[in-house]
Structure 1
Amino acid sequence: MSTIEIKNLSFGYDNQEGLLFDQATLNFDQHWKLGLIGRNGRGKTTLLTILQGKLPYEGQISHQLDFVYFPQAIQNKHQLTYYVLNDICSFEQWELERELNLLHLSPDILWRDFTTLSGGEQTKVLLALLFIDQQHFPLIDEPTNHLDMLGRQQVAEYLNKKKQGFIVVSHDRNFVNEVVDHVLSIEKSQLVLYQGNFSVYEEQKRLRDEFEQAQNMKLKKEVSRLKKTAAEKAEWSRSREGDKTKSRTGFIDTENRRVNKGAVGADAARTMKRSKAIVTRMETQASEKEKLLKDIEYIDPLQMNFQPTHRQRLLTVEKLSLGYEEKVLFEPVSFEVNKHERIAITGPNGSGKSSIIRYLLNEFDGQVKGNVQLSTHTQISYVRQNYEDNSGTLQDFAKKNKLDYSIFLNNLKKLGMEREVFHNPIQQMSMGQRKKVEVAKSLSVSAELYIWDEPLNYLDVFNQEQLEQLILAVKPTMILIEHDIAFLKKIMTKQIHLK
């Protein structure tokens, strides 16, 4: 049995405050299937990069195998898929075709231009290449971003059949729940291991946090008591110092008799010395107790500028069908969107989900059949699937989109964006940070209808819980497209499935 041992790992970037990892220690078996969990910016991808030996660090990492990273770097995507994969590593064609079949892909895909493959198809062929190699330990970073519900289920079944271990980073809780037997959580610069799948992790984490919160309450009360006692003793010590000063001038007792100045001074000095020792001891104990306080990860509630109007029905769709030239995207659909309803539009990639949204926003340029009634005065807040054109400073971005700057920044902070990132141009931010900008913008816009197209891409599980709690509390009117079935089950009131 081969193990991977991490001992006293410390690492931080020069341009960030604090360390991502501070004396972190972990041991795990190479046959375990680990789900790597943590807030965006807390070091998930950094840890995978460190394991590959691509970043300097303090501490020790011991193992007897090499690591391989997904998604693999592609040198030239403008060629046949077979040659794209062959540029990454050498392989036997029959082995690759075997893996493709397991992923429900025809081997014919190897002879298509790589750029013509959908995001989900590209993900699958790269995973197939990854698991041909039995000698390396796979580090799988965000495999679900471009997969629809069916694709995620197929990849989950594929990973379940693998006997070799791996580390997978994914923000799809249902996917992680199906494929892992251990969860590795990054918590306040430490690596914490949980045995079991994501559901077990959530329960164990909840119990652990409740216990630590109770311990924190006890410790805070004890610290408060010790500090109060220290302050009282310090005050008493100062009063005894006053007695000593009075004795030097010839203190007169209540019977108007002069007392021995030396005796009073010596007694006051001894009492003061004892009281100061007590103060020092109390302050030391309080300081030691404070060190035991756990810095628990709290999830701050977000704000949503939902402005419901008097209208009960916002949208009516009757026998709607969209297409291009002779190709119809989906069978005719009919549905209504009433106030406080949250409608999920589902279906495989390419079925026309985003086309419906573009049509509702007057951005669809194909053929339309059916009838749609949506008031032109309806205030809509939109989370786009593609938001790469967001640019400039956050302040300029807020001004351009007529956002309340303080609410916008507050939501970004609550979504976990670091303060030092606030000064960066949006186009220089990571994809996760740019997604938070797009979501925070939508939350800040005054709206009676929210249209969200794949809002969870690049957001961590903590952000997903924040959005779930917000939506269930505010009950906004929504139309959304999302492949995370766990998220949809919690927040949707109605599902429209495209065929």
Structure 2
Amino acid sequence: MKPITINNLTFAYPGQEPLFNHCYLNISSDWKLGLLGRNGRGKTTLLKILQKQLSFQGSIQTNLKFNYYPLSIREPNDYTVNALTRSGYQGEQWQLERELNLMATSVELLWRPFSSLSGGEQTRIMLATLFAQDGYFPLLDEPTNHLDQDGRKQIAQYLKTKKNGFIITSHDRDFLDKIIDHSLVMEQHQLVLTHGNYSDYFIHKQQRDSNAIKKNENLLKDIHQLKQTRQAKSQWAKQAENEKKNNSHADKGFIGTKAAKMMKKATIMKKRLDTAIEERKGLLKEIEKVVPLTINVLPSNHQPLLAINDLTLSYPTKHLCSNLTTTIEKNTQVLLCGNNGTGKSSIIKAITGTFNGKQTGNIIFSNALKISTVRQDYSNNHGSLRSFASSAKIDYDQFLNLLRKLGMNRATFNVPIEEMSMGQQKKVELARSLAEPAHLYLWDEPLNYLDTYNQQQLIQLIQEKRPPMLIIEHDQNFINRIATKKIEI
């Protein structure tokens, strides 16, 4: 067991509010620590600070050497085993094979070009690389992206059996519950370190939020009463002054002295009340509430909106799906489920006319059907948000409003899309789809890089608006809460 001791950590990006302000933490290397919190709160930043990639104020004391997921792969077109060595892997080949076997993953992947591997296969390879190297403490930044349900179960079981600790970020609650024994959560104004998994933290947070809401209600009542008292004292002073001005027959000296005393008391009282009100305002806890999203769904009287009949897809060396038949109608949310590599994304490509393999069967669209997509690969999104909105033909103000609701900081609005974090780029892709006028939405793994708050926003939106959708997703909680029809591929 080796400690990670963080003393008086303060960090802020130029021109932004501090992500960490005089923070103190003690972390043990034998913990399986879940690093949680909304996007933009500093999870990836903390991992970079631990690796000494960012300058900061304060100190971090540890003898640990860190390695990081995802790896930066050099020469991805080379055989995977060679690409890993060129990317810094210092272990032996048998160690890689050992870790892949523990993940129930074929070692033959090492002898295929890394770029030819699926997202899930690349994830397994990179995780095996980290744990195959002795003497390192792994930092895992969202390894569940691109993993199907079986893949997540396999990786969860793999990580659960590890004797050494690690720090992991993920937005899959079920996945985290299976593997972590401590949680470090970056809330709005504090870091909360707790023993247990995500559900243990969430129960604790609900109790704290409930107490805070009650306290807020009482504080708001106090503030209201203090404001009323302050207003009454001001009225007394004004009445005394008016008595002096309007009573021509009274003793001016007496009334003037009385008014002056009253004014002095009122001024002192006002200062005291102002101080008391500000103190109570400072005690108010901010409870994060889910801000509702909007979607620009177009009404349609055509039924069904989309019909797929006996669709079969394949490549010359790989068969994907066979004889798929289904319909998407008004208010239905169809979930395509299945393991990676079974052709789910290819089905969406076939619908949008971008599948470049062999295709048989029929896809029938309703008249003048407008489709909006959320893609897995949106690397061609670039430039300013204004130019992007213009090229996408969406309302710029509505687009920015959706980004704000999704939690994007206003300071980020001036950053070119290609320079944004992956989570921010995902929000750009999602906000574009929500802002586009459409009859039907095709979303391919929309939850990748989105935090649990954003996931709840999407669940709430879909449950309330019930837009016609065809969705590929592996998060079981999301599937169970929004799907009206499931199709296993």
Report the 3-state secondary structure (helix = DSSP H, G, I; strand = E; otherwise coil) of the residue aligned with 1:61: strand
Contact 2:244 2:252 in 1 (8 A): no
One-letter amino acid matched to 1:188:
Q
Q: 1:105 to 1:245 in 2, by over 3 A?
A: same
Q: Specify the alignment match of 2:486 in structure 1.
A: 495
For 1:393 and 1:91, the matched residues in 2 are separated by 43
Cα offsets for 1:477-497 (capped at 9, x unmatched): 110111222211111111111
Write the deviation string for residues 144-179 of structure 1: whole angstroms up to 9, x where unpaired. 123222222111110010122211111222222222
Matched residue of 1:91: which SS?
A: coil
Shift of 1:327: 4.1
Match of 1:322? 313
What is the correspondence of 1:74-473 to structure 2 with a 5 Å cutoff? 74-87=73-86, 88-240=88-240, 252-253=249-250, 261=253, 268-325=259-316, 327-473=318-464
Query: Which letter does structure 2 place at the counterpart of 1:29?
Result: S
**Whole-angstrom CA distance in 2 between matches of 1:375 and 1:118:** 33
Instruction: Tell me the distance in 1 between the aligned counterparts of 2:108 and 2:317.
Output: 26
Amino acid paired to 2:68: Y
For the 8 Å contact 1:19–1:189, the answer to whether it is kept is no
Once structures 1 and 2 are overlaid, which stretch shifts more, 343-352 or 29-38? 29-38
Q: Secondary structure of the residue that 1:124 maps to in structure 2? A: helix
Deviates more, 1:43-52 or 1:3-12: 3-12
Q: Is the 8 A contact 2:31 2:165 kept in 1?
A: yes
Q: 1:485 aligns with which of 466, 476, 480?
A: 476
Give the Å deviation of 1:53: 2.4
Cα distance in 2 between the residues matched to 1:289 and 1:7: 30
| Deviation by residue 1:357-410 (Cα, 9 ceiling, x = unmatched) | 111112223222233322252221111222122233322322322212222221
**Do the aligned residues in 1 keep the contact of 2:236 with 2:262 (CA within 8 Å)?**
no
TM-score under structure 1 normalisation? 0.90
Structure 1 Cα separation of the partners of residues 50 and 301 of structure 2: 57
Residues 328 and 110 of structure 1, relative CA distance in 2, 3 Å threshold: closer
Change (3 A) 1:365 1:89: closer
For residues 273-309 of structure 1, give each alpha carbon's deviation from its aligned partner in whole angstroms, at most 9, with x where no partner exists: 4443322222211111111111332321100112231
3-state secondary structure, aligned to 1:334: strand
Q: Is the 8 A contact 2:118 2:341 kept in 1?
A: no
Greater Cα offset, 37-46 or 82-91: 82-91
2:60 alignment counterpart: 61
User: For residue 52 of structure 1, what is the aligned residue in structure 2?
Assistant: 51
Deviates more, 1:181-190 or 1:287-296: 181-190
Contact 1:25–1:191 (CA under 8 A) maintained in structure 2: no
Query: 1:256 maps to what in 2?
Result: none
Secondary structure in structure 1 of the residue aligned to 2:322: coil
Report the secondary structure of 1:9's partner residue: strand
1:442 positional shift: 1.0
Query: What is the number of equivalent residue pairs in this alignment?
Result: 488
The CA deviation string for residues 19-71 of structure 1, in whole angstroms up to 9 with x for no partner, is 11122333333222122122222211001111222222223333343332222
Question: In the TM superposition, what is the alpha-carbon distance from 1:143 to its structure 2 partner?
Answer: 0.8
Distance of aligned partners of 1:386 and 1:109 in 2 relative to their CA distance in 1, 3 Å threshold = closer
Q: Which amino acid aligns with 2:156?
A: A
The answer as to whether partners of 1:20 and 1:189 remain within 8 angstroms in 2 is no
List gaps (5 residues or longer) in structure 1. Answer: 254-258
Larger radius of gyration: 1
Structure 1 residues 372-381 or 482-491, which shifts more? 372-381
- Return 5+ residue gaps in structure 2 as ranges: none
Amino acid across the alignment from 1:444 = A
Q: Structure 1 residues 394 and 93 mapped into 2: Cα distance closer, same or farther (>3 Å)?
A: closer
Question: Partner letter of residue 80 of structure 2?
Answer: T
8 Å Cα contact 2:304/2:366 also seen in 1:
no
% identical equivalent positions: 47
Question: Deviation at 1:242?
Answer: 6.0
Matches of 1:427 and 1:55 in 2, distance apart? Answer: 21
Give the secondary-structure state (helix, strand or coil) at the position aligned to 2:35. strand
Secondary structure at the counterpart of residue 313 of structure 1: coil
